[in-house]
Amino acid sequence: MTSAAGTLHHADTGLEVHKVVVGPMDNNVFVIRCTETGDSVLIDAANEHDRLLELAKSLGVRRVLETHGHWDHIQAVPEMRDAGYSVAVTSGDSAMLDTYDEILEDDSVIPVGRLRLHTILTPGHTPGSMCFAIEGFPILFSGDTLFPGGPGATQFEGGDFNSIIESIERRLFARFSGDTLVLPGHGDDTTIGAESPHLDEWVQRGW
């Protein structure tokens, strides 16, 4: 059983971020919750659908947002949709899903109660990879675009190293302050300030 109290990962005025780790690839699944209204969204219906459905019900989730379409991030999508949750993915990655409801557009705003979630298209790991930022809070959900120690893998079909470097440099490092908390699709948190000095190293090593 998943307790919402036991999943709280970050809190601020009007905001809660909950986190669970699921599946054989240890995927991070996040729920962004507006504490003023109780409205929430879930990022990446990765796996262990029973656990995610229980969490979604307890936290007032209204829709599911996918950072990208790789198999390990979408295993629970059919069950979430069957339970009535709308699932959104970018057009660039939509063909990777058997089923979905909405297309995510770049540079758009998704209301979550009184919170505002901004979409940031960051191609490279996949053609349609997307990050999410919460307006007014130094928090970035980076999917598999940015991790502690470098960019996400680009050797899979649809991946492109030059594209992910450009996405990270222009759409993340140039836009967000050093104290911005980065919550990736796997593993531990990091910050923009911890990662941005290493961009040239990543370019030189080629991964």
Domain tally for the chain?
1
Give the tokens for residue 96: 């990777």
Distance CA(44)–CA(207), nearest Å, equals 24
**Which residues make Cβ contacts (< 8 Å) with residue 30, sequence separation at least 6?**
9, 17, 18, 19, 42, 43, 44, 141, 183
Q: How many CA atoms lie within 13 A of 34 on its CB side?
A: 19
Cα 153 from chain centroid (whole Å): 16
Q: Which of 144, 12, 6, 4 is nearest to 71 (CA)?
A: 144
Give the tokens for residue 38: 């109780």
Distance CA(203)–CA(49), nearest Å, equals 37
Distance CA(162)–CA(150), nearest Å, equals 13
pLDDT value, residue 3: 57
Q: Do the Cβ atoms of 59 and 15 come closer than 8 Å?
A: no
pLDDT value, residue 2: 56
| Residues 84-110: tens digit of each pLDDT | 999 999 999 999 999 999 999 999 999
pLDDT value, residue 4: 72
Chunked mean pLDDT (size 10), the chain, 207 residues = 79 98 98 98 98 98 98 98 98 98 98 98 98 98 98 97 98 98 98 98 97
Q: Which domain holds residue 54?
A: 5-205
Q: Which of 40, 27, 131, 141 is nearest to 74 (CA)?
A: 27
Q: Is the dihedral of CA 58, 63, 69, 75 positive or negative?
A: positive
CATH of the domain at 118: 3.60.15.10
